Structure 1
Amino acid sequence: MLQPVRQAYNHAFSPELYRSFLDKIEADFPGQLDFRIAETPVFVPKRLTDKLLAACGDIVSVLTRDDFKSLTDKAIPDELRVPNEDAHTQFLAIDFAVCTDESDELTPQLIELQGFPSLYGFQPYVADQFRAHFPIPSDLSHLFNVDNNADYLEKMRQLLVGDCNPEEVILLEIYPEKQKTRIDFTLTEQYTGVAPVCLTKIRKNGRQLFYEKDGRQIPIKRIYNRLIFDDLRHFPDLQTDFKLTDDVDVEWVGHPNWFFRISKYTLPLLKSPYVPDSFFLSDLDEYPGDLDNYVLKPLFSFAGSGVKLHIAPADLDEIPAEQRNGYLLQRKVKYEPVIQSPDGLVKCEIRMLFIWPKEDAQPTLITNLSRLSRGEMIGVNFNKNKDWVGGSVCFFEK
């Protein structure tokens, strides 16, 4: 992973510099950072960059098929289907594990993908903070298809705001001030003028939606959706004037249906050297003979919840027939520890982030995020009390 750059970075690194880096974020956004930022970015060599781009191309070729919507229509639960769906998602995130192939070359392997926004506001900011505190070569970039953060943020502003007044556009969440990603919401508002609004604060009058600001009732014309249906299940008694499934006069920027369409549900449709074999449990007449090489995933869990890494036939037999279409068997991916920390090697995952304006035929890769792990999985629960783990950003050699 670009060893000269890594060596220079690690030589310059100190706990004091890292603390200064975190202190700057805290000074800029007091109390907003609620997830761990790793001590380092990821430096991606050109050969791996090219493979990541090829892998993304293989996946996008499926997502842009004329029959993609018909192939994924059953992905949307009837009770959660939102009216007025558009032709394609406006956000696409594709997660790859960094692995090695038979020739010991670095190669990406798909983990998951989602037609849902990620930390589009936070990533340009954290990339700037890494550059401000540590030696990052100027010829490496965290961006694609734009020249700098200003161009990137203008693309995001156009996508979110369109031709509306920014106050007529909201970032929709449930209790946004309590979400771990609230720093991203704050940055999004700073960059685009689009403020987070809680679902409970929205009022409905016929087909019109409103929220209150400075004592005024502001009409909502566009919704940048950051609310996942699964989160609402944590609030079974929540009373709201507006339900996501209501038929209202609003334009979705990131229609909720795409969260289901582009998800684990999509994995069995993908065929590529960079995509491990995946099967719907309900489609299998018999289990793979090497079941220990597979992982069981609930189709619509989030952040790794419900994933079983070690499965036996008995585990699958316990799943009732009527629920088996909600599970996926995916061939395990072996993360290769490739990030040199002061005390050993660390695994990483790279998320390629796309935007897809409504008028465009294909999504456009624009930035990325990365996550570092020393545990069996990438998530927080597998990396407690460890360093050189957490969220980060990649700088690519192109």
Structure 2
Amino acid sequence: MEPTLERRMIDIRRHLHRNPELSNEERETQAYLKQVLEEAGFETVKPVAGFGLAVEIVGAAGPSNRKVVIRADIDALPINETSGVPFTSERPGVMHACGHDAHAAMGYAAAVLLDRQKQAFSGTVRLIFQPAEEAEPLGGRRVIEEGLLDDVDAAIGIHVDPYTPAGRVAVGTGPYTLACDTFDVVVSGNSAHAAKPSDGVDALAIACSMVTELQKIVSREIDPYDPLVVSITGIEGGGAYNVIAPEVRLRGTIRSGHEKTRQKAWQRLRQILESLASAHGASVDINLQRGEPAVVNAPEMVDIIQRAGADVVGRENVINAPGWTAADDFAFYSEKCPAVYFRLGIRSDEAGSIYPLHHPRFRVDESALAKGAAVLAGAACIFLKPPFETTRRP
């Protein structure tokens, strides 16, 4: 990538980092990205999925109805930044702690590269700058609902990876992120004096038993090679030293790699909670919210990333790596068409990019971003380079 484009990409990333916006609030982000894309010569930049954008680059190597999507998410997180970078967030309590500012900037650079390489491919690349990856209502779901993948043959997603050395590409086949569901539970007992708990039904003691027993779903009921995580992330109840808590609220998340395991976890969660409540004379209300499914990488698309990655960073720097237990709503894309979600290493002691995702001191080694944008553009070119079958997949 030429220095001028790389510098522009980094400037865009820093602007977005300085001005982060939460999921479903990306008004200024949308307006800014539309402005920089139009300044780069893209005449038709369309608003999509609420505060998202879509832009298309049509190849000039010959007629083709073949299309591939590149997804770049754009939202930030409710985290107060302490990274110390000069372009730190100017919005207290909001931070790009997951690298979506870098994703958007790489999407911009990939669009420019593809526009310059139109003679090398046929068909169309659709860049989607997607809002609301981090929180409901999810932008990925809305992208599908708006039909933005109905005419698409494949999709490509990227995520920065603070666990992999800067500039390396990590990818693998099969489930590559986990499905994400959340649950809220209300345990209802009966209040009593704390000095005489036998007069009541202690919702807090019952809730503590529930937290312990739910862990056995993973440790005792699921094959260790079948990915599943059940985490309780909140417990609220009680308020006085001398009163037995009449009501306790629990919240948590279920992460799973396969739909069958996902269904079993839901079933067992309900059975365990209802049985424990009944055994202790309490009642329980369970609200389970289905989130994004697992991202599943198609083998043929993984091969394209490996080829593009080898061209950009060298074959020795393309890692066949396992997936993450985190979730990503790119999974809705991978449900719709053959897709690949790959990771770009950004870890560097020198750049201080050694903190995990969603950490207030999270940083990005910006020297890796040119490689990520080049892999995105290169993979799209490989997919669209003739000869190929122009009939879309069913």
TM-score, normalised relative to structure 1: 0.25
